[in-house]
């Protein structure tokens, strides 16, 4: 058997990869028996659709040139093998050397074959609703891959091979078992859509702020209690889905997302109870003394009286955000939530830290542009829209 079309007068030539471990004679016997079964669902010369046939392997006839039908496996650029019964017998993919789009959704695949790495022109891979736990290392050879859709599988971490795909624009990993995200997530500089909803995430790495081209980010249906402030660096972000988590507040930096059009926050604690109450742990004696010294340290030659460790402690103080207060705090602080005008449309609860409960009187609970002609009642539907939708 040859890797090139036969020059003989036979009307059919079989294209097999040397590493496929197929039995050619068995293929020919099956081809003669099954040549009229499983018709191509597409009339296009560059498309092969074999959907909903309960297939356990690709029919042998499609590895053959069929001159009478104008079919050649090397012409196929799009292949649809959805809704079949593939599990571990997905062999011969590398025969379709010019594939650009491959859809393997709704099967029983526990893994993808190693020879998928030989599909040098592949740009889009979909394998929704299978039993995949990862991706083969050979996929690092897919230099042109731009879109990967793997929702509804058994993946518990982002497959490491994905971080070699520097042209990746779309990564959909919803409905898996992912509980942590690596810092390497920030290396996918071309990502425009990232879908991680329906996993088991409890935190998001700060490097997510490096995905500067991101337009849509879905983190819903996880176990998130906070999101990193670096989210505010995603200036192209238009859609942010955070519903069904455990969020109490949002980082103040979110107001930098000036292009945001949709923000979904429903079913988070910040919606059910807006955390109006303020909580504070009693400050320690060290903290109380440190606050007093910190405010007057410019008048005291500290290096003559204090060890270097205490001087470093004094320099670690944070300024109270109340503009009318000159106080500082170290560990003991008041969590204060205020609603701020967001994108000129919505009010969202943002977390601030004060040095004491008394400072809350100087921080308005709700702030917005006083030049606006909209009344408080007119703002309420908009608030519900962003918080609940």
pLDDT for residue 381? 36
Show the CA angle centred on residue 195, arms to residues 192 and 200, nearest 5°.
145
Give yes or no for residue 264 having a pLDDT over 50.
yes
Q: What class is the 24-272 domain?
A: alpha beta
Q: Which of 3-7, 74-78, 277-281 has the highest mean pLDDT?
A: 74-78
Domain ranges of the chain: 24-272, 285-329
Pairing between β-strand 346-354 and β-strand 318-319 as defined by DSSP bridges: unpaired
pLDDT for residue 373? 32
Alpha-carbon distance of 16 to 115, in angstroms, equals: 12
- Average model confidence (pLDDT) across the chain: 80
pLDDT in tens, 103-144: 999 999 999 999 999 999 999 999 999 999 999 999 999 999
Confidence of residue 308 (pLDDT cuts 50, 70, 90): confident
Give yes or no for residue 20 having a pLDDT over 50.
no
Give yes or no for residue 66 having a pLDDT over 90.
no
Confidence of residue 299 (pLDDT cuts 50, 70, 90): low
pLDDT in tens, 149-183: 999 999 999 999 999 999 999 999 999 999 999 99
Instruction: Tell me the whole-structure pTM to 2 decimals.
Output: 0.68
Find, among 194, 206, 184, the residue nearest to 251 by Cα. 206
pLDDT for residue 34? 52
Give yes or no for residue 273 having a pLDDT over 60.
no
| CA-CA-CA-CA dihedral for 351, 355, 359, 363, to nearest 10 | -30
Residue 108 token pair: 């029983």
Give yes or no for residue 234 having a pLDDT over 70.
yes
Residue with tokens 């079913």: 267
Confidence of residue 364 (pLDDT cuts 50, 70, 90): very low
Give yes or no for residue 11 having a pLDDT over 50.
no
Residue with tokens 């969020």: 247
Find, among 159, 155, 125, 156, the residue nearest to 142 by Cα. 125
Determine which of 171-185, 229-243, 252-266 has the lowest per-residue pLDDT on average.
Answer: 252-266
pLDDT for residue 4? 42
pLDDT in tens, 193-202: 999 999 999 9
Confidence of residue 352 (pLDDT cuts 50, 70, 90): low
240: left (phi over 0), alpha (psi -120 to 50) or beta: beta
Residue 321 token pair: 């955000």
CB 330 within 8 A of CB 313: yes
pLDDT for residue 45? 92
pLDDT for residue 17? 47
């Amino acid at each position: 058997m040859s890797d090139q079309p036969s020059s003989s007068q036979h009307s059919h030539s079989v294209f097999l990869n040397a590493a496929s471990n197929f039995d050619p004679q068995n293929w020919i016997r099956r081809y003669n028996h099954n040549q009229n079964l499983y018709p191509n669902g597409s009339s296009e010369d560059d498309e092969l659709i074999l959907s909903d046939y309960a297939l356990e392997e690709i029919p042998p006839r499609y590895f053959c040139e069929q001159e009478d039908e104008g079919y050649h496996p090397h012409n196929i650029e799009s292949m649809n093998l959805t809704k079949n019964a593939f599990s571990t017998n997905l062999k011969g993919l590398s025969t379709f050397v010019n594939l650009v789009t491959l859809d393997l959704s709704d099967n029983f695949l526990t893994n993808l074959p190693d020879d998928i790495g030989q599909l040098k022109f592949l740009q889009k891979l979909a394998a929704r609703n299978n039993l995949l736990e990862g991706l083969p290392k050979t996929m690092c050879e897919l230099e042109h891959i731009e879109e990967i859709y793997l929702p509804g599988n058994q993946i518990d971490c982002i497959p490491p091979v994905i971080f070699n795909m520097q042209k990746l624009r779309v990564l959909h990993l919803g409905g898996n078992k992912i509980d942590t995200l690596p810092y390497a997530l920030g290396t996918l500089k071309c990502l425009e859509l990232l879908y991680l909803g329906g996993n088991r995430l409890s935190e998001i790495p700060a490097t997510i702020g490096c995905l500067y081209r991101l337009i849509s980010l879905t983190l819903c249906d996880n176990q998130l209690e906070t999101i990193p402030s670096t989210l505010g660096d995603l200036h192209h972000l238009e859609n942010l889905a955070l519903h069904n988590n455990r969020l109490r507040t949002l980082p103040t930096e979110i107001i930098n997302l000036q292009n945001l059009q949709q923000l979904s926050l429903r079913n988070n604690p910040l919606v059910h109870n807006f955390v109006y109450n303020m909580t504070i742990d009693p400050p320690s004696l060290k903290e109380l003394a440190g606050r007093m010294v910190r405010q007057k340290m410019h008048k005291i030659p500290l290096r003559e009286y204090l060890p270097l460790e205490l001087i470093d402690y004094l320099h670690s103080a944070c300024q109270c955000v109340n503009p009318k207060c000159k106080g500082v705090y170290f560990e003991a602080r008041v969590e204060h939530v205020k609603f701020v005008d967001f994108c000129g449309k919505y009010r969202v609860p943002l977390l601030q830290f004060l040095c004491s409960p008394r400072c809350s009187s100087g921080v308005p609970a709700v702030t917005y542009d006083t030049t606006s002609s909209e009344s408080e009642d007119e703002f309420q539907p908009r608030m519900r829209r962003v918080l609940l939708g």
